[in-house]
Structure 1
């Protein structure tokens, strides 16, 4: 069990298939990954398990464990043991002692429960991390809009204007957290005040997008009262709907469709090849809004977390 020696071992590391394999070279070049964060379990020259952490920016510590793969042709108990040992060995080197490990994200097929082999592969990976103390947090839908899909015309019910600045957006984000159906947001406000959770989300994520802030929109009623907001943006990989929310006092009026249509129009107007988005499976109103707006489900994501105090 060892980390890769460098980019020269990417072919070896990628012998196990996964949707992120094509991004690894660019991630290494940009510093979002480091060779010492990419570990392999080898039996001779056969790759039996691998894992890798990722950071949003060069120079930052690992923020996600987003690769954990097993040789699914290997016997069940033996390969699970290998996965557990690999995680424990790599974590002891990469992560601070006693620290809470970064969240685990797994991209999986949209109907993974309907295929016996896919289901076994997903459940095996989850079982490895459950043996280290991780627990499922949420399952999410991954969605995509492509050129040619419909883009709704403005309904005229709302007016849109750019975001005035950080203070305004954080204040609206704080209000949106009241009654949220998003599992990550619910976990955040269980640990900290809503205003702090909103501010950290802005500072840790939204503030770092390189796409124009002029794309961000506040929706208002004809009287000028804020109703909600939408954050169309582009990260290092894709154009996306980064955040969208309706204020509690205005929920139940279908305004989410107006907000999503505005965000989609802004990105589509840039000639982008696709727009990505995600929402919790349990957030049924948001999922339905994406489908109405012409987005298609391209996959799912399972997120797992550890409790404070680190892995077992």
Structure 2
């Protein structure tokens, strides 16, 4: 201990990104653009300092609104000799949360990207457990772990079976109705949580308004799969978010599950995005959603990362 007191504060602006990134994470290269685009704000990016050493940091992200949607940066210095470093990280988190969020508001979920084999690496696992322990002190609990998947150029574009035809989604009403229908029997943890407090139609509308409506990529990319007679089988929503080309949503309607149509849908969505000459296509699914994970693997997507999510609800 060097006798210096801990100072917890937000960064003053982009000029302090060098200070903020003394602790490292995979999102660091995006921070400057996020600040410029309004997805982050200096007042949402906090550090705990002892002298000139950064002991911990935290940052929130939004799609450009006034309220953060995720806590997605939370780091604790692993080379700090201080025996109170977890206490310092807790102080940072509590102080920053009180300043960033409206009084009494439930904190938005915490997301952390991790290597696929994070449990097998002793140092990585300890760092994860330290962060989760501090978050747990503030009331957070593990919600879900997700696979992050990626299709890369040079990988064969999966071929459809030819059993289905594809047409663009007609309008918002059609896609939200189909989104509501596919929630029957869903294995997705976020969807199941939504259904605990909302009807399927309410959950679908909230998902659409909160995410899909904000994508600037052409909606002509969104495709409905149909049988030869025109009956819908499912849908796939290829899109671009602020960072990557993505498979934003893919699902088979309950009456048509178990026939391998998911492979046709993923093939079509991948084909649409690959035709845009993108450097990669990203997707994700819950670790426990084994059927969807296997479908992505068959389509040539690799499991390159994980997301651990904790919530305060």
TM-score, with normalisation over the residues of structure 2?
0.96
What does residue 117 of structure 1 align with?
123
What does residue 103 of structure 1 align with?
109
1:22-76 deviation digits (Å, cap 9, x = unpaired): 000000000000000000000100001000000012x431110000001012358
Instruction: Flag structure 1 segments of 5+ consecutive residues without an equivalent.
Output: 308-312
The alignment partner of 1:101 has SS state of coil
1:221 corresponds to 2:227:
yes
User: Aligned partners of 2:160 and 2:48: how far apart in 1?
Assistant: 54
What does residue 250 of structure 2 align with?
244
What does residue 30 of structure 1 align with?
37
1:97-128 deviation digits (Å, cap 9, x = unpaired): 11100110001111000000000011111111
Number of equivalences: 306
User: Aligned partners of 2:139 and 2:198: how far apart in 1?
Assistant: 23
TM-score, with normalisation over the residues of structure 1?
0.96
Moved over 6 A (4+): none
Instruction: Flag structure 2 segments of 5+ consecutive residues without an equivalent.
Output: 1-7
The alignment partner of 1:178 has SS state of coil
The alignment partner of 2:84 has SS state of helix
1:16 corresponds to 2:23:
yes
Q: Deviation of residue 153 (structure 1)?
A: 2.1
The alignment partner of 1:27 has SS state of helix
What does residue 230 of structure 1 align with?
236
The alignment partner of 1:151 has SS state of coil
Q: Is the 8 A contact 2:160 2:263 kept in 1?
A: no
User: Aligned partners of 1:296 and 1:15: how far apart in 2?
Assistant: 30
What does residue 296 of structure 1 align with?
302
User: Aligned partners of 2:147 and 2:158: how far apart in 1?
Assistant: 22
User: Aligned partners of 1:128 and 1:188: how far apart in 2?
Assistant: 26
What does residue 62 of structure 2 align with?
55
1:93-242 to structure 2, matched below 5 A, reads 93-242=99-248
Match of 2:98 among 92, 101, 105: 92
User: Aligned partners of 2:254 and 2:33: how far apart in 1?
Assistant: 41
Q: Is the 8 A contact 2:167 2:224 kept in 1?
A: yes
1:44 corresponds to 2:44:
no
Q: Which moved more, 1:69-78 or 1:24-33?
A: 69-78
Indicate how the Cα distance of structure 1 residues 76 and 160 shifts in structure 2: closer, same or farther if over 3 A, else same.
Answer: farther
Indicate how the Cα distance of structure 1 residues 242 and 77 shifts in structure 2: closer, same or farther if over 3 A, else same.
Answer: farther
User: Aligned partners of 1:203 and 1:52: how far apart in 2?
Assistant: 24
User: Aligned partners of 2:83 and 2:217: how far apart in 1?
Assistant: 47
